[in-house]
Amino acid sequence: MDLDCSGSTMKISGIEHRLYSIEHFVEHPRVKTAGHIEEKLLLCTPACATMYALKGYIVFDFHKSLDMEPEYYSEAIEHEL
């Protein structure tokens, strides 16, 4: 018996999105060490998360750490949760 599984493979189309935690230290205007950390949860593309990292933000990928499958959308979005 010959099995053809090519028709059963899932074809993924769309733009990959993942859930990220984005953190940034905001300095106090007068005392550099007395600032606070701004944190937000963001559903965005890996390219968007890379841009945050290049701007100095700390980026944590929940999908990768929890071994989750990424979400796929027809267009690139940046949604804050």
Burial class (CB in 10 A: 0-12, 13-18, 19+), 38: exposed
In the chain, where are the structural domains located? 15-80
Distance CA 12, CA 68 (A): 15
Using 50 as the pLDDT threshold, list the residues of the chain that sit under it.
1-11
Distance CA 41, CA 18 (A): 10
pLDDT at 1: 37
